[in-house]
Amino acid sequence: MSPDMVVVSRQVPVPPERVFTVLADGWTYASWVVGAAHIRQVDSHWPRTGSRIHHSVGPWPVNVRDVTCVLAVEENELLELEARLWPVGAAKITLTLTADHGGGTEISMGEKLIRGPLSVLPNAVQAAMLAPRNTEALKRLADIAVHRD
């Protein structure tokens, strides 16, 4: 993870494979990503590199249609995304899954605004905006991973 990313982490009592199963199901994206409102389409080869989720962000009727693209993936360990929300810009998001000795997983989520007008904000301002949102996203992701059948 890049040192200039805003990083939050959460421990969950399920193995990395179970968390990755949620990440690999693109249709769950709007359930755990704060701000995502609707999934219109998920590429059939999601989450392979280059695949995309076509989503809407924001409240109806002013939501914005855009895409999130996979930049890198290592099954059960890493998912790196570029989430776009034009005209605001784009963010690079890195999710890492690390197994612990008790059979659980530490999920770390790093985010950095990389394009658009908000990308010029200082890291401290980005952290103030992104950390609470991503903490909630990891809480939602953890709930889905723990309670999914």
Domain encompassing residue 119: 7-147
Whole-number Å distance between alpha carbons of 86 and 57: 10
pLDDT by residue, tens only, the chain of 149 residues: 778 899 999 999 999 999 999 999 999 999 999 988 899 999 999 999 999 999 988 777 878 888 999 999 999 999 999 998 777 789 999 999 999 999 999 999 999 999 988 888 888 888 898 999 999 999 999 999 999 87
Q: Which two tokens stand for residue 116?
A: 């658009």
Domain count across the chain: 1
Q: In CATH, what number is assigned to the domain containing residue 37?
A: 3.30.530.20
Residue 2 lies in a domain: no
Kindly tell me the burial class for residue 16, based on how many C-beta atoms sit within 10 Å of its own C-beta (0-12, 13-18, 19 or more). buried
